[in-house]
Amino acid sequence: MNRLYSVEGVYSLTGAMADHRLRLESRQIAPFLATLAARLGAGGAASLAGAALPGVDPRWIDALAKDLLANRGKGVIVAGERQPASVHAAVCALNAFLGNTGATVSYYETKDAALPSVSSLDSLVSAMKAGTVQTLVVLGGNPVFDAPVDFDFASALSKVPHTIALGHSVDETSARVEWHIPRAHFLESWGDARAVGGTLGVVQPLILPLFDGRSPVELLGLMAGGQDRPGYDLVRETWKPILGEAEFDRKWNRVLHDGLLSGSELPEVAPGLKGEPYAELGRTIVDGASPQAAAGSAGALEVVFLPSPSLHDGRFANDGWLQELPDPLTKLTWDNPALVSPKTAETLGLTGGDVVRLDHAGRSLELPAWIVPGMADGVVALTLGYGRAHAGRVGSGVGFDTFTLRGSQASGFASGVTLTRLGRKHPLSATQEHGSMEGRPIVRESTLSELRAAEASSPAQAEGAHVAEAPHAGKEGRVPEAPGVFEEEPHHFSLWKEHTYDQGQQWGMTIDLNTCIGCNACMVACQSENNVPVVGKVQVAKGREMHWIRVDRYFSGEPSGGPEVVFQPVPCMHCEDAPCEQVCPVAATVHDAQGLNVMVYNRCIGTRYCSNNCPYKVRRFNFFNFTKDTPSILQLGMNPDVTVRARGVMEKCTYCTQRINRTKIDAKLAGRAVHDGDVKTACQQACPASAIEFGDLRDGSSRVAKAKADPRNYALLDELNTKPRTTYLAKVRNPNPDLDPSTRSGSSRAGSSDEGVA
Amino acid sequence: MTPRARRLLGAVALTSVVVASGCARGCTSSRPPIHLNPSMDDQPKVRAQAASTFFYNGASMREPVPGTVAIDGLKEDAAFFTGKGADGQFVATMPVTVDDAVRERGRQRYAIYCQPCHDARGDGKGILFQRGNVPTASFHQEKILKYSDGQIFDVITNGFGLMSGYRWPIPPADRWAIITHVRELQRERLARAAAASASADGTADKPASDKATADKPAPKPGDVK
């Protein structure tokens, strides 16, 4: 099992998965790296030693350096994208020093790519202001919204006589140009691409264009060739010299089918670093230290600009699914408050939802604040992509435009920001406001050594024996061998005559908490598959969000220290003894022969007794007719196999019963049995980490049955004897024995940019 | 009176009219039925094959984009997918191995897709010919006996004369399976003819009438034309 160290200022998903995490401001990453390089003994880095980092336990760096040196060629150091070039160069040099280059890190030439560059945008804007640009064509992108604010792209644009923008909708840029050209979606367009490794591929459209849009390829073809030609012809023409005229159609079809041209990957290159990477790093540290000193240590904060996990840079702002998708860490929807650590909030006298004003380099921004444990103290994190003026029906005016604070000099993070409380409150809608498990074993955790010891002592563990798991406790930190009141209790007897479920397929699911990265992909996949409505910020604040699967996030450890984070996706558990079924007065929720807890929408009269009685709180009620005014284009996006629910109806996860039935019908038509893996639920299909397994529990060879036989398997709220069909595999951490738990959560400062060792 | 109550009263009045006129059920009507509780009857979604007011062609289902190749949609084996070899000529024999499963599949698919016109024995005297006088080719005529397998495949795929192409309803593997069945019908007929003529060499009239019935197995109505 790998061991991941993370050094960052704002909790990232990577940091949440780390075995050891150090909170550090983004500007402290360069000094940290210098100290690490000196400790590793990299050639030329010795001069960087000396300056001890405030608040960083030297043992932490020792342990990290020891692990990296012990695993030469098997580890990797990765620098965060917000870090300056000198940090990336030094990381590259360190990876080479550790023998990781070529083994765990590969470098490729960037071919046929225009790399993003702030300076080239700067020179363009200068030329526009000087009036030397006659015609400006914007192919996608939204520079009026997201260009560095000190460039003032909008006023520069007004000085250009002819402006043309190609875009999906009339956004901030399109609203200010002379001509707006409707853009075809990438799923409607022909194109080609080169992957990072150099592999060439043709991008083929998935659907005939809904509207008569133009792709960038077609627009460029018109501009360069003077002819309006279909993208298909243009792409084929480009590929003629690549594939050769002989047997072109056969090779072309093969590329289309495979998605890539095999054998077109580029050879790895050995990076040649110009100059002295460690000396550069030293200069960055000196440069970084001086303005910080100038700004004064008192009251000056560091601001970090994060792309939104859902909206990225704002391009997806008009998507209700993404707006309502909670942030993985804050669990906030429809908003982007400034995030601060509990200690910073205490120092500044802030509570969640307080409106604050941030001042930086003569620019100011008013927005609410929100407290997130695990952040570095003295850091304000701003999420980009919100506050759009021309996003569309859904996204306009949602959140706060944090691009207005971001200059070209510090696009990732900036020091010297002052924060003022304005004494107002702004309502924020979170789907989970409580971050503690209150000592209950909701997410169970173990360490690799504990698990190994348990396996060695009892090799033949029966399912349900949770020897290794210790409750992931709340404030007291981890309590490995305290049984407590929530330790496994013997099963209660059932009041009901229990069904045996020994016929046909019996569906079940496991969710591996060790591989779940908390990315929320399952939530959107489920929403798309099951026609789950979007309810809006006001309804989310009332707890009326409709997600059939949610991802719970829990903090453990001292909130003001460095708490650990665990994620837990929670769909309907499909309990065999379902509490919801026993209280339904109209039998609208019942069990079927395959063990599914099914909802009969037409029977439901909306008493909500079931939701009240559900211990997992996974049932969702249609308080309003959320789907009544669905526009015809969105009706095309509804899954025809799933009922669209009306007001007054309860709904919940169905284990994608429509997919189960479709598979069974297909298998029957083909005259074969349903194989393991034939049915994939939407969440399982979307999971990038393959954390979810689904299948027939009666088939002993199925992946889900094997997962259930894992000693890490446990049922959520097992003491209620609901016999859930969905169970969890406990999380396993791999802490360094040199760093005892008190150190793990004890470091007092935090930071941004990831470093990991695999 | 609230609009809701008025609507309910109207519905009750209408129901009584319907009942009084004795046409509560079983009558055809172009109008949709009355829904007292319209909950979830009208779904804001697009079902398969439904009409659409969104697309110009009035169909809600989109066709695949021309030129795209889907997963498992690669047709590199030209002989299998078009019945033509690399030289563009029809292949003489089918590019699939024939076993009992293929023969059975072919018999079954033939009964579904071909029999209505070509009849069970391949004489072109199927129900469409009997009822509608649709001229249908017999597999036992000289011309078609000379067809190569690839050519028959091409006819099934793209149609011929009045026959429309069966490219969409019958996947390529099934088309080849059908051809095995057609070949079987032809072989059977030829074998029987050969046996009949062999026995006809010996005796006189009786087998000749047998041969006649074997050649013209179609029922009487088919002979109208």
Q: Would you list the DSSP string of B93-151?
A: S-SS---HHHHHHHHHHIIIIIHHHH-TTSSS-SHHHHHH------TTSHHHHT--HHH
Considering only CB atoms, which chain B residues are within 8 Å of A207? 62, 65
Report whether pLDDT(A290) > 70: no
Average pLDDT, chain A: 86
Report whether pLDDT(B210) > 60: no
pLDDT, residue A189, reads 94
Give phi and psi for B199, each to the nearest 5. -75, -25
Considering only CB atoms, which chain A residues are within 8 Å of B67? 204, 232, 256
Question: From CA A442, how far away is CA A486, in angstroms rounded?
Answer: 10
Give the CA count within 13 Å in the CB-facing half-sphere of A358.
29
Report whether pLDDT(A106) > 70: yes
Considering only CB atoms, which chain A residues are within 8 Å of B69? 204, 253, 256-257
Sign of the four-CA dihedral A411, A416, A419, A420? negative
Tokens for A458? 């009892």
Tokens for A736? 């360094």
Sign of the four-CA dihedral A708, A709, A712, A713? positive
Name the burial class of residue A516, with classes exposed (0-12), middle (13-18) and buried (19+) by CB atoms within 10 angstroms of its CB. buried
% of chain B exceeding 90 in pLDDT:
32
Report whether pLDDT(B182) > 50: yes
Residue whose tokens read 């023969």: B103
pLDDT, residue B181, reads 94
A232: number of Cβ within 10 Å: 18
- A630 and B44 within 8 Å at the Cβ level: the answer is yes
pLDDT, residue A480, reads 37
Contact indicator for B122, B152 with CB cutoff of 8 Å? no
At residue A755 the predicted structure's pLDDT band, cuts being 50, 70 and 90, is very low
Q: Which of A472-476, B69-73, B168-172 has the lowest mean pLDDT?
A: A472-476
Q: Whose CA is closest to A76, among A92, A60, A89, A95?
A: A95
pLDDT, residue B212, reads 44
Give the CA count within 13 Å in the CB-facing half-sphere of A691.
28
Mean pLDDT of A109-122: 84
- A257 and B71 within 8 Å at the Cβ level: the answer is yes
Angle, CA B212 vertex, CA B207 and CA B215 arms, to 5°: 125
pLDDT, residue A455, reads 76
Report whether pLDDT(A36) > 60: yes
Mean pLDDT of A258-269: 90
- B74 and A643 within 8 Å at the Cβ level: the answer is no
Please give the residue that has the higher pLDDT: either A47 or A24.
Answer: A24
Report whether pLDDT(B169) > 70: yes
Q: Which residues have a Cβ under 8 Å from the Cβ of A615 and sit 6 or more positions away? A: A579, A717, A720, A722
Tokens for A568? 């837990």
Q: What is the dihedral of CA B47, B50, B55, B58, to 10 degrees?
A: 180
pLDDT, residue B215, reads 46
Tokens for B156? 């099934």
B42: contact with A, CB 8 A cutoff: no
pLDDT, residue B185, reads 93
Report whether pLDDT(A288) > 50: yes
Residue whose tokens read 């070529």: A102
B18: number of Cβ within 10 Å: 15
At residue B3 the predicted structure's pLDDT band, cuts being 50, 70 and 90, is low
Tokens for A494? 């059932």
Report whether pLDDT(B6) > 70: no
Question: From CA A77, how far away is CA A755, in angstroms rounded?
Answer: 5
pLDDT, residue A495, reads 76
End-to-end CA distance of chain B: 71
Report whether pLDDT(A52) > 80: no
Which string of b and e fits A338-363 if b means at least 16 CB within 10 Å? bbbbbbbbeebebebbbbbebebeee
Mean pLDDT of A707-728: 90
% of chain A exceeding 90 in pLDDT:
58
The three state secondary structure string of A668-733 is HHCCCCCCCCCCCCHHHHHCCCCCEEEEECCCCCCHHHHHHCCCCEECCCHHHCCCCCEEEECEEE
Question: From CA A627, how far away is CA B122, in angstroms rounded?
Answer: 55
Question: From CA A78, how far away is CA A338, in angstroms rounded?
Answer: 26
Question: From CA A94, how far away is CA A101, in angstroms rounded?
Answer: 9
Pairing of strands A620-621, A726-729: unpaired
pLDDT, residue B10, reads 64
Chain A with chain B: Cβ pairs closer than 8 A: 68
Report whether pLDDT(A599) > 90: yes
Question: From CA A352, how far away is CA A372, in angstroms rounded?
Answer: 9
Report whether pLDDT(B133) > 80: yes
Sign of the four-CA dihedral A605, A609, A613, A615? positive
- B74 and A204 within 8 Å at the Cβ level: the answer is no
Q: Which of A227-231, A294-298, A674-678, A685-689 has the lowest mean pLDDT?
A: A294-298
Q: Which of A51-60, A178-187, A396-405 has the lowest mean pLDDT?
A: A51-60
Report whether pLDDT(B13) > 70: no
Q: Which of A388-397, A559-568, B25-34 has the lowest mean pLDDT?
A: B25-34
Nearest CB among A257, A634, A643 relative to B40 is that of: A643
Tokens for A737? 């024995």
State the smallest CA–CA distance between residue B71 and chain A in angstroms: 6
Nearest CB among A205, A208, A645 relative to B40 is that of: A645
**B174, amino acid identity:** D
Mean pLDDT of A275-303: 70
At residue A322 the predicted structure's pLDDT band, cuts being 50, 70 and 90, is very high
At residue A237 the predicted structure's pLDDT band, cuts being 50, 70 and 90, is very high
Tokens for A69? 């040196």
Tokens for A155? 């006023």
pLDDT, residue A707, reads 93
Report whether pLDDT(B8) > 60: yes
Considering only CB atoms, which chain A residues are within 8 Å of B43? 638, 643-644
State the smallest CA–CA distance between residue B73 and chain A in angstroms: 7
Report whether pLDDT(A103) > 80: yes
- B73 and A208 within 8 Å at the Cβ level: the answer is no
pLDDT, residue A470, reads 39
**A61, amino acid identity:** I
Q: Which residues have a Cβ under 8 Å from the Cβ of A399 and sit 6 or more positions away? A: A334, A335, A336, A383, A385, A386, A387
pLDDT tens-digit readout, B18-35: 555 555 567 777 877 777
pLDDT, residue B24, reads 57
pTM across the whole model: 0.83
Which secondary structure element, helix H or strand E, spans residue A425, and what is its range?
strand A413-425
pLDDT, residue B152, reads 93
pLDDT tens-digit readout, A133-162: 999 999 988 999 999 999 999 999 999 999
Q: Which residues have a Cβ under 8 Å from the Cβ of A432 and sit 6 or more positions away? A: A326, A331, A550, A552, A553
Give phi and psi for B200, each to the nearest 5. -65, -30
Which string of b and e fits A554-583 if b means at least 16 CB within 10 Å? bbbbebbbbbbbbbbbbbbbbbbbbbbbeb
pLDDT, residue A411, reads 81
At residue A524 the predicted structure's pLDDT band, cuts being 50, 70 and 90, is very high
pLDDT tens-digit readout, A462-517: 333 343 333 333 333 333 333 333 345 556 677 778 888 888 899 999 999 999 99
pLDDT, residue A479, reads 36
Report whether pLDDT(A310) > 70: yes
Tokens for A134? 């006659």
Question: From CA A722, how far away is CA A615, in angstroms rounded?
Answer: 9
Question: What single DSSP character describes residue A349?
Answer: T
State the smallest CA–CA distance between residue A452 and chain B in angstroms: 43
At residue B12 the predicted structure's pLDDT band, cuts being 50, 70 and 90, is low
Nearest CB among A256, A602, A638 relative to B44 is that of: A638
For helices A231-243 and A248-258, give the axis angle rounded to 10 degrees: 110
Report whether pLDDT(A200) > 50: yes
Q: Can you say whether residue A374 is alpha, beta or left, with left for phi > 0 and alpha for psi between -120 and 50 degrees?
A: left
Please give the residue that has the higher pLDDT: either B212 or A434.
Answer: A434
Q: Whose CA is closest to A651, among A749, A580, A704?
A: A580
Taking each continuous run of H as one helix and of E as one strand, the counts in chain B are 9, 2
